[in-house]
């Protein structure tokens, strides 16, 4: 319920922004909120960065994601993440890809964090996205 209220407040805020230059990003729960928000905005954002997130409600994602064909996203996840294990991240990636989004998956040997290599890969993704 709290996440839903936060997302509704963000939707109001984002209506004022130029979505074509907006890249949403989040880590852990923030990645899950960012993914949901990207699928609910009136206009799709330019891209999406998901760090160490997972798929909580696959059915909801399957319902919303087809409205964003071609939306570019970058996702990173550690192979030793014990907080949100890798299979859930893979499920999120596969769900978005199957729905028509265009994603890059960066898997790293690590836990629930954002290592420098993932940040460099994300920065390169943003450079390509907004070029």
Q: Whole-model pTM?
A: 0.88
Burial (CB < 10 A; 0-12, 13-18, 19+), residue 10, is middle
pLDDT value at residue 1: 56
Q: What is the pLDDT of residues 91-119, one digit of tens each?
A: 999 999 999 999 999 999 999 999 999 99
In this structure, what DSSP letter does residue 83 have? S
Q: How far apart are CA 96 and CA 92, in angstroms?
A: 6
Rounded distance between C-alpha atoms, residue 3 and residue 90, angstroms? 22
Using an 8 Å Cβ cutoff, are 101 and 71 in contact? yes
Per residue of the chain (131 residues), what is the pLDDT tens digit?
A: 566 777 777 777 777 778 888 899 999 999 999 999 899 888 899 999 999 999 988 899 999 999 999 999 999 999 999 999 999 999 999 999 999 999 999 999 999 999 999 999 999 999 999 88
47 and 125 in contact (C-beta within 8 Å)?
yes
DSSP structural state of residue 70:
T
* Percent over 90 (pLDDT), the chain: 74
């Amino acid at each position: 319920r709290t996440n839903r209220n936060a997302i509704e407040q963000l939707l109001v805020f984002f209506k004022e922004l130029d979505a074509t230059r907006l890249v949403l990003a989040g880590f852990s729960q923030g990645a899950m909120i960012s993914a949901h928000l990207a699928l609910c905005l009136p206009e799709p954002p330019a891209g999406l960065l998901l760090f160490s997130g997972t798929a909580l409600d696959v059915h909801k994602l399957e319902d919303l994601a087809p409205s964003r064909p071609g939306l570019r996203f970058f996702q990173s996840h550690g192979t030793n993440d014990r907080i949100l294990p890798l299979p859930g991240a893979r499920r999120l990636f596969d769900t978005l890809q199957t729905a028509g989004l265009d994603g890059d998956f960066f898997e790293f040997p690590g836990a629930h964090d954002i290592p420098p290599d993932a940040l460099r890969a994300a920065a390169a993704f943003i450079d390509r996205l907004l070029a």
